[in-house]
Each structure stands twice: as structure tokens, then as C-alpha cells.
């Protein structure tokens, strides 16, 4: 049963990855956004590790001071017991002092190592933040260029459509006006034809009488 669920999970995961790959190929900016989101998540995980390292350093510091204080205390007690001639108490205090001192030395070394590691970790964390910031700025630049390209493409499409439609409309209107002018002129010519003929006829008769 476990194998079945494992195969189902792997199959679904593979399908999702394949779908993401295809989506990223079709939209590089979306792929970049996805990558930056993953990087931000990684940065957050690193920040938590840095915070944890700070806490560890503080814990080493507390344990060091606690062990050193106890070692100093046992050392004074050993001196008192020795002066008082209390051998058993002296040996007990001396043994305790050595154990606490060993612990203090170990905590001091661990604290020093934690500080060194913390400095390195902070430097790398700062480098990571700078690189991510640069990537975000770079993404903004690319998105700006993409936006200009898309807007220009859309404007060109609209202008081309408007230009084509305008020219066809203008041609249609021009043909209509020409037809209208022709009809007006033709009607005018027809309406004045009879009067023009009558005028010619009168002029011809007047010439005949004059001759």
C-alpha cells in the first residue's frame, strides 16, 4: 500500500514539475518570479539559522559564566578547606573545581567557535541578501522592458487596425460622394436640357429672321 501511495505521489509530483517547466518555457518572467520566490524562502531559512546561531552563542556564554563562577567558587572553598585541614572537603572542592573549570574552558572554546562561525554566516547572509536585492531590481528592469514591448506591440496592432479601417472607410465615403456628385450633376443636366434646347431654338430663329 505504501508503495502505491509513493508511486502516486511521485507521479503527481512529476506531472506538476512538467507542467511548471512548460509554463516557465512559455513565460520566462513567470519562471523568474517563481525562482525568486524560492530564493526568498531559502533566505528566510538562512535567517532562522543565523538567529539560532545567535541563541547558541548566548547559551554558550551563559554556560561559560555559570561554569566559571562555580569553578572560582570551588577554588576558594578548596583553599578554605586546605587551611582548615579538612582533607576530604579539600579533595572534593578541588575535584569539583577542576570539573567546572574544564566545562568553563570547553564552553569558552565553543563560544569562540560559535562567534567565528556566526561572523562567517552573517557575511554570507549579507551577500545573499545583496544578490537577491540585485535580482529583484534586475527583474523590475526586465518587467519594465517587457511591459514597453507588450504595450508597443498592442499600440501597433491598434494603429494598424485603425489605419486599415480608416482607409477603407474613407474610400467607401469617397466613392459614395463621387456617386452622389454624379447623380446630382446628371439630374441637373437632365432638368436643364429642355430649356437649353428651347434657347438654342430661339437663337436659331432670330438668326434666320435677321438674315
Q: What does pLDDT average to over the chain? A: 80
- What are the tens digits of pLDDT across the range 152-202? 888 888 777 666 555 666 677 777 778 777 777 777 767 777 777 777 778
How many Cβ atoms are within 10 Å of 6's Cβ, its own excluded? 10
- Statement: residue 1 has pLDDT above 60: no
Cα–Cα distance for residue pair 209/44, rounded to 1 Å: 119
Top pLDDT among 16 and 191 is at 191
How many Cβ atoms are within 10 Å of 121's Cβ, its own excluded? 17
| pTM to 2 decimal places | 0.52
Lowest pLDDT segment from 1-5, 107-111, 185-189:
1-5
Lowest pLDDT segment from 48-57, 85-94, 159-168, 173-182:
159-168
What are the residue boundaries of the structural domains of the chain, listed by start? 11-165
Q: Which of 207, 21, 45 is nearest to 132 (CA)?
A: 45
**11-165, CATH topology level:** Helix Hairpins (1.10.287)
pLDDT at 9: 46
Amino acid at each position: 500500500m505504501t508503495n502505491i501511495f509513493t508511486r502516486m505521489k511521485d507521479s503527481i509530483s512529476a506531472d506538476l514539475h512538467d507542467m511548471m517547466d512548460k509554463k516557465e518555457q512559455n513565460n520566462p518572467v513567470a519562471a523568474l518570479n517563481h525562482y525568486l520566490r524560492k530564493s526568498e524562502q531559502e533566505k528566510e531559512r538562512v535567517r532562522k539559522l543565523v538567529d539560532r546561531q545567535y541563541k547558541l552563542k548566548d547559551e554558550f556564554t551563559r554556560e561559560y559564566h555559570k561554569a566559571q563562577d562555580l569553578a572560582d567558587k570551588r577554588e576558594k572553598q578548596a583553599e578554605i578547606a586546605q587551611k582548615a585541614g579538612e582533607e576530604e572537603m579539600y579533595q572534593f572542592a578541588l575535584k569539583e573545581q577542576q570539573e567546572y573549570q574544564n566545562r568553563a574552558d570547553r564552553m569558552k572554546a565553543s563560544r569562540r567557535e560559535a562567534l567565528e562561525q556566526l561572523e562567517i554566516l552573517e557575511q554570507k547572509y549579507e551577500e545573499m541578501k545583496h544578490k537577491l536585492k540585485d535580482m529583484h531590481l534586475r527583474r523590475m528592469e526586465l518587467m519594465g522592458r517587457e511591459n514597453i514591448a507588450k504595450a508597443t506591440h498592442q499600440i501597433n496592432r491598434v494603429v494598424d487596425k485603425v489605419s486599415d479601417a480608416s482607409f477603407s472607410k474613407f474610400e467607401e465615403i469617397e466613392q459614395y460622394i463621387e456617386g452622389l456628385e454624379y447623380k446630382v450633376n446628371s439630374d441637373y443636366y437632365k432638368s436643364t436640357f429642355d430649356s437649353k434646347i428651347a434657347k438654342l431654338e430661339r437663337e436659331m430663329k432670330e438668326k434666320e429672321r435677321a438674315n
